[in-house]
């Protein structure tokens, strides 16, 4: 899912987002509640009409802001109390308030409010946040007024595999429409992330979506898919696109580098995105000249690349050739295919 935190995927018109092959986008409860306000979005026709997106939308609960705005946040059992990053005003987010905002926004999938903490953390801190996540998830279900809006619960538990499995099993008992693995990509290493995914996925239902939140690089995606994950969101393709990094099957290209100055070839010969209608030399020129078209083109390219990657992964699974697909892609990204 391309990340459209504030009702927009940065740098792209909504038709450009559709052209990447994206089927679903993500918005954020906390940010939209602060600006412009969920009631404003509702008065303007709901989040789909507000941003002009006809496909499904998932809204994050605001739980990640407990981590990202930790210095501005107090977490209590009733709710998390924030100081707005915009003007410092107090903002209280309880499980009930999170669901009310998401229902008012009109998203198709609402995430249950979870307690995200940074890593490393003490065993006590991880256990308390995990237990609170389970209690808050039940309160989110109890607060539901729109049965047509799916709710996904979020598995927490830090890097404790047993605690992750325990959390997953308790959440599954409440029968959510989908389940997410949260609290990763917050400072842990790749091996720990893989270990936690491997432990958690078997504890989640096979017939419901499994969503790895906030991850990641192309390699992260194929590694997680091989361990049972279905859905992803991440700012990496858009943020890195704005900063002159393009993803390709041969690894990332840093488009400000001098070696691209006179390069006539596109980023990817087979890519249908608008960036690949131009030469690498032209895209480098745009970034060096400070032209806004450079970030726009690489954002479109990177999202298109991610969508092609997961589509090809799906096709490889259906053809029973995913392991070969994964290994071939990783060899390309790490340069092992080059002499």
Instruction: Identify the H or E element spanning 81.
Output: strand 80-83
Instruction: Kindly report each contact of residues 189-195 with a partner whose C-beta sits within 8 Å and lies 24 or more positions away, as own/partner.
Output: 190/220, 192/159, 193/220, 194/223, 194/227, 195/159, 195/161
User: What are the phi and psi torsion angles at 130 (to 5°)?
Assistant: -65, -50
Nearest by Cα to 213 from 50, 34, 36, 68: 68
Full strand arrangement of the beta sheet holding 150-155? 25-28, 57-60, 109-111, 150-155, 178-181, 210-212, 231-232
Helix (H, G, I), strand (E, B) or coil at 60: strand
Number of other CB atoms surrounding residue 115 within 10 Å: 23
Per-residue tokens: 218: 């192309």
Q: For residues 190 and 318, what is the distance between their CA atoms, to the nearest angstrom? A: 27
Just list the catalytic residues.
60, 233
Q: For residues 219 and 79, what is the distance between their CA atoms, to the nearest angstrom? A: 36
For residue 71, with 0-12 CB atoms within 10 Å meaning exposed, 13-18 middle and 19 or more buried, which class applies? Answer: exposed
The dihedral over CA atoms of 264, 268, 272, 278, expressed in degrees to the nearest 10, equals: -20
How many Å separate Cα 271 from the centre of its chain?
23
The dihedral over CA atoms of 309, 335, 299, 209, expressed in degrees to the nearest 10, equals: 30
């Amino acid at each position: 899912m391309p990340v459209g935190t504030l009702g927009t995927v940065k740098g792209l018109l909504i038709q450009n987002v559709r052209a990447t092959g994206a089927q679903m986008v993500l918005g954020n409860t906390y940010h939209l509640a602060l600006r412009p306000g969920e009631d404003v979005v509702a008065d303007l026709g709901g989040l789909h009409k507000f941003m002009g997106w006809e496909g499904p939308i998932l809204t994050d609960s605001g739980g990640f802001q407990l981590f990202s705005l930790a210095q501005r946040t107090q977490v209590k059992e009733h709710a998390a109390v924030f100081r707005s990053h915009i003007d410092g005003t107090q903002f209280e987010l309880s499980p009930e308030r999170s669901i009310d905002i998401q229902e008012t926004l009109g998203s198709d999938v609402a995430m249950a409010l979870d307690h995200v903490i940074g890593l490393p953390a003490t065993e006590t801190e991880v256990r308390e946040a995990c237990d609170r996540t389970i209690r808050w998830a039940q309160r989110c279900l109890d607060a539901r007024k729109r049965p047509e809006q799916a709710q996904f619960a979020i598995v927490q538990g830090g890097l404790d595999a047993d605690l992750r499995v325990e959390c997953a099993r308790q959440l599954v008992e409440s029968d959510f429409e989908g389940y997410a693995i949260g609290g990763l990509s917050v400072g842990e290493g790749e091996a720990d992330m893989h270990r936690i995914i491997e432990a958690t996925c078997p504890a989640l239902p096979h017939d419901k979506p499994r969503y790895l939140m906030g991850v990641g690089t192309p390699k992260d995606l194929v590694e997680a898919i091989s361990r049972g994950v279905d859905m992803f969101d991440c700012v990496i393709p858009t943020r890195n696109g704005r900063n002159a990094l393009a993803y390709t099957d041969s690894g990332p290209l840093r488009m400000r580098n001098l070696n691209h100055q006179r390069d006539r070839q596109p980023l990817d010969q087979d890519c249908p995105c608008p960036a690949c209608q131009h030469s690498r030399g032209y895209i480098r020129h745009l970034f060096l000249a400070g032209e806004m078209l450079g970030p726009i083109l690489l954002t479109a390219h990177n999202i298109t690349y991610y969508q092609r990657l997961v589509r090809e992964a799906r096709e490889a699974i259906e053809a029973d050739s995913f392991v070969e697909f994964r290994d071939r892609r990783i060899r390309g990204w790490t340069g092992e295919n080059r002499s």
